[in-house]
Structure 1
């Protein structure tokens, strides 16, 4: 009589249930919720979803999966845009969203220790009474663990840096269950390999982040939002370049092209604004410094045809404008109800930004695409939403082809295929083109050293 040998994943599920109990789910609905993020890759259902609540549970689960050779895909809020959380080889999805403790805050040293499931909003709500804030703002309701894994950035990066500059140290569980700590509370160090930076942006392929020590900043005395509108993309970008070269410490500089501004005016009801290329800016500092910065940028913008420069320190108005900016993705989708969007993520040297933006927009229009551009242009990063009809059999592939053209242009201008969204599944084909075969071989060597069985988020970063 023939017998069917149990699958390795079944052995992991049975053993994990002993310490996770009902927090190890094989329910169809739960598996479907963890089949992909906010990207356009086809979903893949994991065999089971584990909801960990402690480092010890993460360690025990990874040790089990390592022993049986079962894939593990870390999962936070599921907001990633490049297929990072798609469990392409099934196995176990490790959901860290319940690890939400803020372990400590050190106001004197302006740092804190948190678990990976904490979101930026939760942390800043907790810190507000202490006069501190965490500045990295990707715009979505993502977890800080996910932000570390994907090397997130966002609207404040031009002044405060990306997540990489704001992490002092990590606790990481390796593929075989070992737990290591990287970095320290010191603001600088010159000893050993920088394992913190190695893990930042590794997308769960080298280890699972279970604690994060963050650098915090003081809430500015004054904040002011400003809006200025321009006749074309080139004029707006030249204003950004001149502002940067002038050394004005702008906290945020966001660009919306005419199509995106039209979408935001409709969706967020921004009465009084025209559907033309627009810069959203924010200034931080003392009341006098904020006024001085705004006046300086207004003068620069006027030289490049900027009109209607308006700034206000009123918190309600400022929040209204930035909410409209953060809702830009949904506003873009509303331009064509029922359509979906593929969102690019290219970063180029600021001096080449006008060339990248104008060229990408003109090429998209020539190919018949409806696109909207929004960008963190203070550091040369922009996103171009390529709208497509999901009922068109060729719609998604045409959008991907446009994405490839945008990235190719960015690379040719000395840029990168991803400024903040990461690699995941969507950008794998560009890694060798950007870094070269030898650098890619070094990356693979690091992966093989830390994860010899290839169980951590397999299929991401590398094609095989």
Structure 2
């Protein structure tokens, strides 16, 4: 019956589909393969296809598409590169997916003011390739070559967040299409403003539930004179985490600190053809002048030695650093190779840095007791760590064990003053934890949603229910 209903929605008599086809021509697709591709992100969440996919090329077109969807009260889901991890692009109620990948123009770069404006479909690697000759770069690096609009919508961060912050700190302004098709511009190029409500931060992290981001104004940074990376192994997970905590508390401005537990090191050794000791391991990167990067590294070397760190391996050449960080970014695929045929469920939490060791160690004990295979990796410099459960979604017992570990980890993090998600976002996967995290503030979020989207057409079923 569900298939019959879907087929009926896609028949020529569907007035919305016909209106969109008149607007977009062959840039509207109802092909099954296209719809299925746009109904699935990089997570374990099941595919739920939209009724059609509209390939927009401008803010004006996005506005026109949304106006038509508003007229017929049909859902609208924005799609960038599909790399989200909590089911943010699923079309649980059908509707129209707006693919923004063709909106890939870099609109302006203001070198003197260290900022730029891009369309939402520009990816972070494309922007940094464009900036290379200017001596500037955009540092937010979630691993995947995500679109900058999508990164803003999910408030992404990644390996550099300990030094440069998250998207929330680096988005200066936005162009947003609202649920009724109106286009608004928030923020601007000034480094600070006290003029009215901060609408930019409202839309950053809203996951397309309040409006569709079509342009982003971003902060840029000068490429450091020197970069040095290092890898250090530890006998215990506790020693590695305690070294991180003291490094941060000492005020050393490390650019990246990444933790990998033994299982994750084993995985990347096999996948990326490396030979690191199979022990809890930290990856570091230091930015600054030659002298300052060297001084930071020496200070961190002393700290790691206090906590049992050994095998300090340096990577100062560009190709060595690239290989190291490619291995880290491929951690997800390395995990999957540990258990061929398994599904990968990635989840994360973030806690105050002083509670990080306790949270990670308790979570590791819980994983081991459950019998589930789940490596730990994290951007531990800001208290954020991740699990990747390697499970068979068709095995109820395995799923139940993983769900139990995930729930206990989240509630542990909340009890420590942390959050249910440091950077993956909410989507559908973390919705059930928001009441515990936000309390009465969740009701205020719901009021904002109803005010801006009274017909609940903007990515319905994500973050909260109305």
Fold equivalence (TM over 0.5): yes
CA distance in 1, matches of 2:21, 2:13: 12
8 A Cα contact 1:9 1:91, kept in partner = no
1:327-349 Cα distance to aligned partner (Å, 9 max, x none) = 00111111111112211110000
| Number of the residue aligned with 1:316 | 319
Match for 1:54 among 52, 58, 64? 58
Q: Which moved more, 1:10-19 or 1:219-228?
A: 10-19
1:150 partnered with 2:125: no
Matches within 5 A, 1:245-394: 245-271=249-275, 273-394=276-397
Q: TM-score, normalised by structure 1?
A: 0.97
C-alpha distance 187-388 of structure 1, shift in aligned 2 (>3 A): same
Matched, 1:429 2:418: no
Once the two structures are TM-superposed, the CA of residue 308 in structure 1 deviates from its matched residue by 1.1
CA distance 1:13–1:306, change in 2 (3 Å)? same
Q: Deviations for 1:176-204, whole angstroms, at most 9, x for unmatched residues?
A: 00000000110000010000000000000
Q: What does residue 76 of structure 1 align with?
A: 80
How far residue 5 of structure 1 moved from its aligned partner, in angstroms, is 11
Is the alpha carbon distance of 1:390 and 1:459 closer, same or farther for their aligned partners in structure 2, counting shifts above 3 Å? closer
TM-score normalised to structure 2 length: 0.96
Q: Which moved more, 1:53-62 or 1:396-405?
A: 396-405
> Contact between 1:113 and 1:211, CA under 8 Å: does it hold in 2?
yes
In structure 1, the residue matched to 2:414 is 411
**Is 1:20 the equivalent of 2:24?**
yes
Q: Are residues 1:162 and 2:179 paired?
A: no
Return the alpha-carbon distance in structure 1 between the equivalents of residues 12 and 382 of structure 2: 47
Note if contact 2:208-2:458 (Cα within 8 Å) is conserved in structure 1: yes
Picking from 447, 450, 458, the partner of 1:448 is 450
Aligned-partner SS, 1:344: strand
Q: CA deviation at 1:45?
A: 1.3
1:172 and 2:176 correspond: yes
SS in 1 for 2:375: strand
Q: Aligned-pair distance for 1:395?
A: 2.7
SS state at 1:79 partner = coil
Work out the CA distance in 1 between the residues paired with 2:465 and 2:175.
28
Deviation readout 1:63-108 (Å, 9 max, x if unpaired): 1111110101111111111000001000101111111000010100
- 1:13 Cα offset (Å): 1.2
Distance in 1 between residues matched to 2:316 and 2:459, nearest whole Å: 45
Q: Distance in 1 between matches of 2:354 and 2:55?
A: 46
1:235 shift after superposition: 0.4
**Are the counterparts in 2 of residues 9 and 68 from structure 1 also a CA contact under 8 Å?**
no
Could you say if the C-alpha distance between residues 370 and 9 of structure 1 is closer, same or farther in structure 2, counting changes exceeding 3 Å? farther
**Which moves more between the two structures, 292-301 or 32-41?**
32-41
The answer as to whether partners of 2:107 and 2:118 remain within 8 angstroms in 1 is yes
Conserved in 2, the CA contact under 8 Å of 1:9 and 1:70? no
Report the alpha carbon displacement of residue 270 of structure 1 after superposing the two structures with TM.
1.1
Asked if 1:183 corresponds to 2:187, the answer is yes
Shift of 1:432: 0.4
SS in 2 for 1:81: coil
Instruction: Name stretches of at least 5 consecutive residues in structure 1 with no aligned partner.
Output: none
Shift of 1:29: 0.8
For residues 122-137 of structure 1, what are the structure 2 equivalents within 5 Å?
A: 122-137=126-141
Deviation at 1:41, TM superposition (A): 1.9
CA spacing shift, 1:263–1:277, aligned 2, 3 Å: same
Over 3 Å counting, the alpha-carbon distance change for 1:218 and 1:88 in structure 2 is same
How far apart are 1:397 and its partner, in Å?
3.5
Q: Distance in 1 between matches of 2:105 and 2:238?
A: 46
Q: Is 395-404 or 144-153 further displaced after alignment? A: 395-404
Separation in structure 2 between the aligned mates of residue 310 and residue 5 of structure 1, nearest angstrom: 59
Secondary structure of 1:283's counterpart equals strand
Contact 2:10 2:51 in 1 (8 A): no
